[in-house]
Amino acid sequence: MRIHCTAVVIVLALSNHVNAQDFIADGLHQDGTDVPAARAPERVFGILPNYTTVERDATVSPLSRRWMLEATAKNTFDPYVFPLVGVTTALGRGRSGTFATRYATAFADNAVGNFMTSALLPSMLNQDPRYYRRGTGGTTRRTLYAVSRIGVTRSSAGRPQFNCSEVLGNLAAGAIANVYYRDSAQSLTGTLSRWGTQVLWDAVSNELKEFWPDIRHHLRPATR
């Protein structure tokens, strides 16, 4: 019960004063202000929110800290995220505990990881948390590029940097999870396991962001 309640408290703290429905914005900060441009995001497979992908050769401006928080909140608390977490929780039958407990910890893992890697650390380290699509080249090259973005990002000035926000952010999220996980999972092994899982999901997310426009084109060729 303590695990369940603690996870819920963490999620509620992250979502305090932030409602995903209050913000409808695109993935680019158009004019340098704290208010994102008004346009609905492209959803991967029509479901997954995608507020932080930048198309190749797009003109972008540096992000404000408020924009990072708002975009992260939209990605984290989007209505479609709640049932998706339920599906992944149901499929993870190897974990112990009730469904409610496993759901709460899974949602908290996702929320904390998102805020650490896409808002808190990027704002502290002056890094850009957006995914910049390669969009051209062979499938293998683009696949490797998408995976490599786990370790490579851009500074707020547009220079390539080691992606400390991703690597250290997920590590911090894995450590924070020790607050609400069972004693058996409160270990270095448990922390590293959660870190690896979050990094893996982020790599999969990069692949979806990279190839979704191509998939959409094949599904709906007349719309392009």
Q: Whole-prediction pTM value?
A: 0.80
| Dihedrals phi, psi of 79, to nearest 5 degrees | -55, -30
Phi-psi region of 57 (alpha: psi -120 to 50; beta: other; left: phi over 0): left
Do the Cβ atoms of 64 and 94 come closer than 8 Å?
no
Quote the pLDDT of residue 51: 87
Do the Cβ atoms of 131 and 149 come closer than 8 Å?
yes
Which whole number is the average pLDDT over 80-105?
A: 87
pLDDT digits (tens, 9 = 90+) for 152-208: 999 999 999 999 999 999 999 999 999 998 887 889 999 999 999 999 999 999 999
Quote the pLDDT of residue 25: 38
Quote the pLDDT of residue 59: 84
Q: Which residues contact 11 (CB under 8 A, 6 or more apart)?
A: 104, 107, 108, 111
User: Angle of helix 81-91 relative to helix 99-115, nearest 10 degrees?
Assistant: 120
pLDDT digits (tens, 9 = 90+) for 106-159: 999 999 999 999 999 999 999 999 999 999 999 999 999 999 999 999 999 999
pLDDT digits (tens, 9 = 90+) for 61-88: 888 999 999 999 999 999 999 999 999 8
Quote the pLDDT of residue 80: 93
Which whole number is the average pLDDT over 214-224?
A: 73
Do the Cβ atoms of 111 and 158 come closer than 8 Å?
no
Tokens linked to 191 = 């922390």
pLDDT digits (tens, 9 = 90+) for 10-45: 454 554 444 433 333 333 333 333 434 334 457 898
- Kindly list the domain boundaries of the chain, sorted by start residue: 2-223
